[in-house]
Structure 1
Amino acid sequence: MTLWRLSNLLELDLSSNFLRGSVPLDVGNLKVLISMDLSNNRNLPSTINGDLNSLIYLSFAENSLQGQIPDSFGHLTSLEFLDLSRNRLSGVIPKSMEALSHLKYLNFSFNRLECEIPTEGPFQNLSAESFGSNEALCGSPRLQVTPCKAGSDHRLNRAWVLMLKCILPAIISAMLLVTLIIILVRYRNSKRKVPIRETSLPLATWRRISYYELRVATDGFNESCLTGTGTFGSVYKGTLSDSATVAVKVFDLRINRAFRSLDSECEVMRSVRHRNLVKVISTCSKEIFKALVLEFMPNGSLEK
């Protein structure tokens, strides 16, 4: 690029241009460059050529930079102004920057930097504004950051944090997987235990009768309508809304065999035709209520 061949260029301002990509190594050709402003762009990397020994002003502010501040910044020995604010920089501030003896303005605010702020060189004269909104930084109380703990404790805490970052997601994933397996197993077992059949007879031969209609027909399953009891439940006489008189056989669901009895009777009634068999009019099968609705036979028994 022709721009990087301008060896006598003193100032370079490419701010607010939505630039992307990396700063070419050819920037090192600008030997006398004293000011470079690349702020307000997009994703420009924070790496800078250490040959820019004349550089006094450098701004990478508001560039969505990620990663750590490179040690090469410590080689810009003429630097007086450095702005890396409002990025996503993480990690520690390089100790090499203590060599920037001419540095008068430094802005690392609104990043994700951590650990101890260097204490030598220009850092002795910097204020709290240089490091604001970096919650994990520690250092001198005058910088309004958390005081640093003893070196061993600090390293131990960092080790715990790193371990939690690695292990905690794996533990959570394993727990979610186990929970999902338990739910699937319980669901499959529940389907095996209580097979809910809404129809054991062909729909074409079946009249739809609701639980509410059966309750009305038997006056709330009143004892006055009770005609008999058997091994698996009770039989009530009822009158449907069309004035048809029926026998309602209500199964006792506390008896496990009652489920099989309902299925068995439906299978038999569906496959067998005989003039002495009671005609099945309908079934009502819910999770908490199961009944057969049959043709009423005066003086007969549904248990025979």
Structure 2
Amino acid sequence: FNKMAESLQREEELRKHLFSNVAHELRTPLTILKTHAEAIADGVIDREKGLGNIKNEIDRLIRLVKGIEDITMAEASFFTKGETVEINLREFLLGICNEMLPAFKQIGLDITKLRADVLFVCTGMDKLEKIARNIISNSLKFTPLEKATDGIGGKIPYKADGGLKPPSAHTVRERSSLTGFTEKGGVSIDYGIEGEMYFIEIMDSGRGIPENEMPLIFNRFYRGAKSDTESLGLGLEIVKELVEVMGGRVEVKSIIDDGTTFRVSLPIKGV
């Protein structure tokens, strides 16, 4: 009975929090839409430019609605145990890598799986898939392709402040041996067992997360100081909630200009 009461109270708190956040997120694009519509009507701005701005805000609203749908479905799963099945973690992660590979190749990045070991675990497959996809998608957003070259065909790594720094040959070799990254960068996935838990590590060669932002990245609708405006800031919050429901933990390590590693640890036999 106590667990049921706690679950209901948690559900109500999440619902109130979601409504509050949604109201805040809707206010900005709606205000901009109203402003541009009035400006067009008054002849203050060019009609074509104004309509373009309105279209951008409508696209933003569509993304927001999609994000709300995603978080609603995720929250529904927070309170359901779901089916626990035995999966081959290697094949599971390989399937996700293959499905997401076109998105990486489209912008010239790589996604690789480091191990070939067969590892069977009992887990909530649907929840685990949401966790992995959200982290990988987040890494893809913050691992931009460097279009500049060093003059001899090599890529120059991206710097968070917009500057450029040429890599030494040693740096490229060392990083490639540890992460599986090519010079163009991307996302690398590792997995294994640690005690009674199995882990999945997702490493990217992106811009990194500033230390002062680390405590905030799992907050709902948090996008970061240097985030693009298209990000809703929901993916990592969903990750944290799902991991906790599955009886696990998620850890993050990040170095500016070098990349970020997310490590998800979950019980081998599920919960």
Same fold (TM over 0.5): no
Quick check: which one's helix share is greater?
Answer: 2
Q: Which has the larger radius of gyration?
A: 1
- TM-score scaled by length of structure 2: 0.20
- TM-score scaled by length of structure 1: 0.18
